[in-house]
Structure 1
Amino acid sequence: MRIISGKLRGIHMLAPANLPVRPTTDQAKESLFNILQNQFDFEDCEILDLFSGTGSVSIEFASRNASLVQSIDKHPGCIKWLEAVKNKYNLVQIQTLKADVFKYLEIYKKPYDIIFADPPYDLPTIPLIPKLVAENKLLKKDGVLIVEHPKFLKLHNLPGYTETRTYGNSAFSFFSEA
């Protein structure tokens, strides 16, 4: 994975091969950050990265000086890898938590400026993510939820839906406060 911008711009990282991940492609990540940087000053943003995996998106936000990046994943290897990267590059704004994303969304009530979710594409409960975010009021005013999913999955009928952008076989669906 490559860091696109910020203080770690251009750094390539090779995550362990044994992690159960499907990282967001560099092209899709670059497109996503082009959209977000026109809406947000990352230095003032608190980010929630759900199903953080290798932490590619978390690291990108931290590289761009986001004030807080909360990274949630249930796989211990993913958390261990992201903690190692955080420590190596002194990315103090990243906070990792080994947890089930759905339980986290039901229990924690802290609102965020940006929530990014990159669940496994075969996960049947992907549509629950926007519902739980809306029900638990986890977005700040003018905040955004982005759910990465396979392009064939349609999420347009869920609360707060605004648009979907497709990149290859992947799509980003955007949601605002419902």
Structure 2
Amino acid sequence: MRIISGQHKGRRITAPKKLPVRPTTDMAKEGLFNILNNNFHFNKLDVLELFAGSGNISYEFASRGAESVTSIDENIDCIKFIKKTSLELDLDITPIKSDVFKYLERAPIKADIIFADPPYNFTDDQFKKIAELVFEKGLLKEDGVLIIEHSKHSKLDNFENFDVDRRYGNSVFSFFRLV
């Protein structure tokens, strides 16, 4: 994986093979950030990445100057890798080891962007629970967005607060906003 833009543009990051991750492809990530670039000023963003895995999305936001980036994953090796990489690159990322659903129940922050990249084999109910918790707990700031990455085989367009989705190969980004 590589960082597409910002202070570390072009930097390649190789996650250890033992990590249980499926990093967002560069093509999909570039498409996502093209959309976000037209709607947000990165240096003013508070970002929460759920199911952070290798930290791929967190590095991209931090490289682009996000105000704060918090990465949540339940795998300790993923958290250690994010911490090590963010220190090496001097990126301000706060990695937290936690079950995502438990974290959302008690999340102490509000974010401009919440990005969730759960396993592609999640059930509709599991995907829906992410969106429900984000909106029930008021975790988005005004004009904030929840983005859930999922496979093209999952359909999230019938969930409350769904706005739009964008497809990149096998990956789909579903955007949710307060309406």
TM category (shorter chain) comes to over 0.9
Amino acid corresponding to residue 12 of structure 1 in structure 2? R
CA apart distance, 1:109: 4.5
Separation in 2, partners of 1:170, 1:73: 20
Contact 1:148 1:171 in 2 (8 A): yes
CA apart distance, 1:152: 1.6
CA apart distance, 1:160: 1.0
Percentage of pairs with the same residue: 53
Counterparts of residues 150-161 of structure 1 (less than 5 Å) = 150-161=151-162
Tell me, what secondary structure is at the counterpart of 1:163? strand
Contact 1:49 1:116 in 2 (8 A): yes
Amino acid corresponding to residue 61 of structure 1 in structure 2? F
Amino acid corresponding to residue 120 of structure 1 in structure 2? P
* CA deviation map 1:137-171 (0-9, x unaligned): 11111001100001121111212110011111110
1:106 aligns with 2:105: yes
RMSD: 0.9
* CA deviation map 1:50-83 (0-9, x unaligned): 0000001000000000010000000011001111
Counterpart of 2:147?
146
Tell me, what secondary structure is at the counterpart of 1:13? coil
Counterpart of 2:64?
64
Separation in 2, partners of 1:143, 1:159: 15
Counterpart of 2:19?
19
Separation in 2, partners of 1:29, 1:23: 10
| Number of residue equivalences | 177
CA apart distance, 1:123: 2.1
Report the CA distance shift for 1:158/1:109 in structure 2 as closer, same or farther (over 3 A).
farther
Separation in 2, partners of 1:109, 1:134: 14
1:7 aligns with 2:7: yes
Counterpart of 2:48?
48
What TM-score do the two structures reach when normalised by structure 2?
0.96
Counterpart of 1:87?
87
Tell me, what secondary structure is at the counterpart of 2:167? strand
* CA deviation map 1:12-44 (0-9, x unaligned): 111100100000000000000000011000100
Separation in 2, partners of 1:67, 1:159: 29
Separation in 1, partners of 2:108, 2:97: 17
Tell me, what secondary structure is at the counterpart of 2:142? strand
Counterparts of residues 162-177 of structure 1 (less than 5 Å) = 162-177=163-178
Tell me, what secondary structure is at the counterpart of 2:23? coil
